[in-house]
Chain A
Amino acid sequence: MKIYLLDDLQHLQAHLAQDYQFHQVVTNNNGQYHWQQLASDETQPLVHDKPQSSAKGFFFAEQESLLVFNGEYFQETLPTPKPFVLFGVQSCDLTAIHYQDKFFKDDRYYQARRQQCLLVGLDCINPCEHGFCPTVNAGPGVREEHADIVLHPLGHKWLVLEQTSKGAEALQALALIETHWHYLTQRDLALHQCEQKFPDDKYITDGIKKLNSGTITDDFWQTLAIQCLGCSGCTTLCPTCSCYGTRAIKKDNNEFSQQRFWDSCLYEGFQREASFNNPSAEAGTRVERFWQHKFADEFFTEFSRHGCVGCGRCEQTCPGVIGVHSVMKRITKEGGQENGPEVTHA
């Protein structure tokens, strides 16, 4: 790994925008943050706040064609994106991308996009609202191998960490001068100080433990699920949610396109079969599935981590107030008792 000191971030932005389609988080008129493609001659200041939507849609498209059928044969419709850069992805979202890289490792559509992408990560030096990335080992500093280049703010300067050969290639023409390694110590200190600033969230670690203890009752999930409107806000914004449905679309030329689109395990019909048999007809079953998928230890084997990356978007968006903080507090308080009689809720 090489490290550089950069005085002017615009210099790097303008350079990358020459070779890549340039995407960055920007602020809109309502004060919300979202990913946007910028023109090659346009630079905007880097936003340190978490964007409303994660970056998952750049790789796992919200809706895409898988194939077309022309009446005689099926033809794959792989995307062919130009090289693009995601500039300033925070650690929680990078951890989610790393998670999905594993999940979609054999998916040609995901990989066609992923391989064209240069990831420029951004260390967080202040906690964000609802975020708890340190608790689930997903931040606030960008993890090794999660980005090609990492940016760390140092007052008016930037520390630039070159993490991969892809990152090195992207930086090569800038002829940056390597800087002293002591800046890495400064980075570690800043990240440590940031971690200390997160509010106490012991209920999350306790909740994860309880969720894996097998003591949470069906009644608990059923009661919790009364507040689930099945709106799919959480699954849409969750950077590791990956469920999808498929449908056929008739095209103008009488060809049929088979598309896949983001689906939600919280929809009543998610598992409903053509016979109307529905293994998860109960809302409690569906809500349990969602939280199990985020925190069950069984997924560790495949992903070496839990599915939740601590971004807190579910808390932010859930109109029923059953995002991660609310749910974990209730699991800890009401979800059943280990080694003793189960506590029932009112």
Chain B
Amino acid sequence: MLSHIPDCIELVDYIDDGEQARHYLFRLLNLAQSKNKNHPHHWQQVQPGQFFMLNVPSIGEAPFTFTEPPNERGEFKAFIRQMGQVTSTLFSMQPGAILGARGPFGRGWPLDKIVNHNTIIIAGGCGLAPLVTLIDKLTNNSPDKPTDALADKAKNKQQLTLVYGARNKAAQMLTPERARWQKQIKIFNTLDAIDEHPSSNINDNIRANTNANTNANTSDELCATTFQGSPLMILPTALSTFTRPPTTALLCGPELMMSSAATYLTEHGMASNAIFLAVERRMHCAVGLCGHCYIKHQYVCKSGPTFSWQALQQLKAH
């Protein structure tokens, strides 16, 4: 039987990051079962790309991704942008507040298609959030798992490149994450508008900065890898940085951006079943009942939120 009843969580802390967006630290309460290492609590089996339903009791529920999965103490992080009623109420709450969480839900990123595969990651705005735990795993940045087996496997065997697009500098998010990944992976940041440098030109910046990010390690240096334009404009350059062409692509952001990028990648030889997208939909139940997150005959909460481009194309063809 399905449960609609959330587990209680405590709002432990938050920090601002980007335009009306915050990193939230929550702690699951009453997690006695998780102390038994042989029988980890279901909250400790979160896969990158899965999500949970946050319950703000006075308003309702909405789905959010984990940016750090629950640890043995039940602490987990989520990156949340203030957008509707649920998040606006959350933003008015202070540490110590009691809320609810249900999950984890959905199918995460297909690790078997990612580990040991050269991978291009394209994200827009807060679409980077569902990729955080994955990139952390692959770059050995998982906080509680310094010797993560996945990272060991991936080490020196795969190349990761991230293209991250935002409207403008204020709309850039997940700055600490991008700063710590900068040491290990190539990152191309794009902005639709760079107001402070109106003369910036994507081609000039590409020439000047393509190789400039190798040793960058601060948020200031992130600026050095920032280009004016859309993720799609920088994509040919990003792809050219691979010594061997990427065999997997991960996309998350506005659907138009994802479909444009997926179309470009397939036109340039990537198989449509090697391109994966994380799809966002309104959800009320997350267990395949309320009907809100449909795409044709499937529900994003159960069949997604990650889909291969091939699967989405087949769905839309029906």
User: Which A residues contact B (CB, under 8 angstroms)?
Assistant: 66-67, 69, 71-76, 103-104, 106-109, 111, 214, 242-248, 250, 256, 258, 260, 263, 265, 270-275, 277, 279, 289, 292-293, 296, 298-299
Contacts and interface: CB of A to CB of B under 8 A. Distances in A.
A262 to B, nearest CB: 11
B292 A270 contact: yes
B167 to A, nearest CB: 13
**Which 10 A-B residue pairs are closest in the complex by CB-CB distance?**
A274-B84, A243-B291, A298-B297, A69-B57, A274-B83, A106-B2, A256-B57, A246-B284, A66-B4, A273-B282
Contacts of B6: 67, 74
Contact of A246 (B100, B290, B295): B290
B4 A271 contact: no
A275 B83 contact: yes
B115 to A, nearest CB: 31
A107 B83 contact: no
A294 to B, nearest CB: 12
B270 interface: no
Report, as a range, how many residues of chain B touch the other chain: 35 or more
A73 B317 CA distance: 45
Contact of B1 (A106, A256, A292): A106
Given A106-B2, A292-B296, A248 B59 contact: yes
B116 interface: no
A274 B291 contact: no
6 contacts: A69-B55, A103-B289, A108-B1, A260-B290, A273-B281, A299-B297
Contacts of A246: 60-61, 284-285, 290
A71 B317 CA distance: 47
Given A107-B2, A256-B58, 16 more contacts: A69-B100, A74-B6, A76-B3, A76-B5, A103-B289, A108-B2, A243-B291, A244-B289, A250-B58, A258-B4, A258-B60, A274-B84, A279-B281, A292-B296, A293-B297, A296-B318
Nearest to A245: B284
Contact of B100 (A74, A243, A260, A271): A74
A275 B88 CA distance: 12
A185 to B, nearest CB: 40
Nearest to B284: A246
B294 A244 contact: no
Contacts, number: 116
**Which label, helix, strand, loop or mixed, suits the secondary structure of the A interface?**
mixed
Given A72-B8, A107-B2, A292-B297, A298 B318 contact: yes
B42 to A, nearest CB: 16
B87 interface: yes
A3 to B, nearest CB: 36
A265 B60 CA distance: 20
B55 A74 contact: yes
Contact of A244 (B61, B254, B291): B291
Interface in B9-61: 55, 57-61
Given A243-B290, A263-B290, A299-B297, A72 B284 contact: no
A74 B61 CA distance: 13
Given A72-B98, A214-B317, A256-B58, A104 B292 contact: no
Contacts of A106: 1-2, 287
Nearest to B125: A275
Contacts of A273: 83-84, 280-282
B219 interface: no
B8 A265 contact: no
Contacts of B296: 292, 296, 298
Nearest to A289: B294
B85 interface: yes
B62 interface: yes
Nearest to A275: B83
A265 B318 CA distance: 19
B5 A74 contact: yes
B34 to A, nearest CB: 18
Contacts of A289: 294
Interface string B72-84: 0000000000011
B284 A244 contact: yes
Contacts of B3: 76, 108
A298 B314 CA distance: 12
Contacts of B317: 214
B86 interface: yes
B58 A248 contact: yes
B5 A271 contact: no
A271 B317 CA distance: 20
Nearest to A108: B1
A271 B58 contact: no
A277 B253 CA distance: 12
B276 to A, nearest CB: 19
B59 A271 contact: no
B284 A214 contact: no
Contacts of B285: 244, 246
A244 B289 CA distance: 8
A263 B297 contact: no
Among A66, A76, A271, chain B packs the most CB atoms within 10 A around the CB of A271
Nearest to B60: A248
Among B255, B280, B282, B285, chain A packs the most CB atoms within 10 A around the CB of B282
Nearest to A247: B60
Contacts of A296: 296-297, 318
B281 A271 contact: yes
